[in-house]
Amino acid sequence: MPSASGVQFSLKKTSPNGELSAVISSVAAALVSLQIDGREFLVPGPNRSRTAFLEGVVMAPWVNRLDEARWMSSSGPQQLPITDPINRLSNHGLLLDHEYEVLGRTEDAIVLQAKLPVVSGYPFELEIRVTYALTDDGIAVEFEALNQSASEAPFAIGSHPYLQISPFDTAELVLTSTAVSVVLTDERMLPVHKISTAGTDFDLSAGRPLSKTALDNSFTDLAFDEDARAHTYLEAPDGTVVDLWQSNELKHTCIFSPDNYPAAHSLIKAVAIEPQTSAANSFNTGQDLIWLQPGQIWGASWGITVFSR
């Protein structure tokens, strides 16, 4: 039987940059560890269970928060279970506690698949496939969604990785983003409107120490390069850089930098950099919401690259 964090699958690869390894949980297809020559770049790492911070999980068929767990379809109002009763929300989709099946596995890659449970409030049959593959300098992740329903289905997806650059305290890292817009939220962390980051505390283009950063916002209008990738960077004092890249199907990067992440003996600074298709509550706002047609296969990718300046 799997634990609450699922069966853990280990990937390994020898590259010109060293010995790489990763750990993925079968529950929520969560990416929980990425190491190069024993140096860890993800939280919580391979030896700790998932916490309430939902490290590394895949969010689908919606991301972040759904207001009142309700949305309106063409056939009428839809009601999903409320998972955050204090704020009256449903958080992070339907697969947080779902165990994915293994479709294929090699020493350095794994393909996981889940069928979304058909529930009241989301009456669609979707198949989600997540592929993790170690590269020479990090890891690449592919999303694939198939709508097996007879009608179009609203859809959003994203990952929830927490990054680090060991052995440094995360508060010492510098965060840089190419996003030129940010989505402001209300007291329940639901989107209100989008503004330009220029001239605001949300402008991360020149880099910001995480010690001076408190964020829980979706950044968008990303700068995509010639490879159709956008980049968010973390840099350590020794010049090590973690580049979280995402394909242009993933139009948003949610950045969450809590000061109360539970470490072994204390609460510490942490940072989640979440590539996703939309901001929160997109079932209701319609902003960047994807409608999958019957039989449609949709795909996107993201990954982590580590290099030194």
Residue of 266 and 134 predicted with greater confidence: 134
Residue 228 has pLDDT above 50, yes or no: yes
pLDDT tens per residue across span 30-78: 999 999 999 999 999 988 889 999 999 999 999 999 999 999 998 899 9
- DSSP assignment of 2-40: --TT--EEEEEEEETTEEEEEEEESBTT-EEEEEETTEE
The DSSP string of 161-214 is PEE--TTS-GGG-EEEE---EEEEE-TTS-EEEEEE-TTSTT--TT-EEGGG--
Residue 264 banded pLDDT, cuts 50, 70, 90: confident
199 pLDDT more than 60: yes
User: Number of helices and strands (H, E) in the chain?
Assistant: 1, 30
Domain boundaries, the chain: 8-308
pLDDT at 4: 59
DSSP helix/strand/coil, 282: helix
Give mean pLDDT, residues 88-97.
96
Q: What is the pLDDT of residue 48?
A: 84
Q: Which CATH class name applies to 8-308?
A: mainly beta
Q: What's the whole-model pTM score?
A: 0.96
Average pLDDT, integer, range 78-83:
96
Whether residue 3 has pLDDT greater than 70: no
Positive or negative, the CA dihedral 259, 45, 274, 158 is negative
Q: What is the mean pLDDT of the chain?
A: 96
Q: What percent of the chain has pLDDT over 90?
A: 93
* Cα–Cα separations (whole angstroms), residue 304 to 22, 96, 135, 141: 11, 22, 9, 9
Section 124-131 average pLDDT: 98
As a whole number of angstroms, the distance between CA 54 and CA 187 comes to 21
Note the pLDDT of residue 49: 85
Residue 2 pLDDT exceeds 80: no
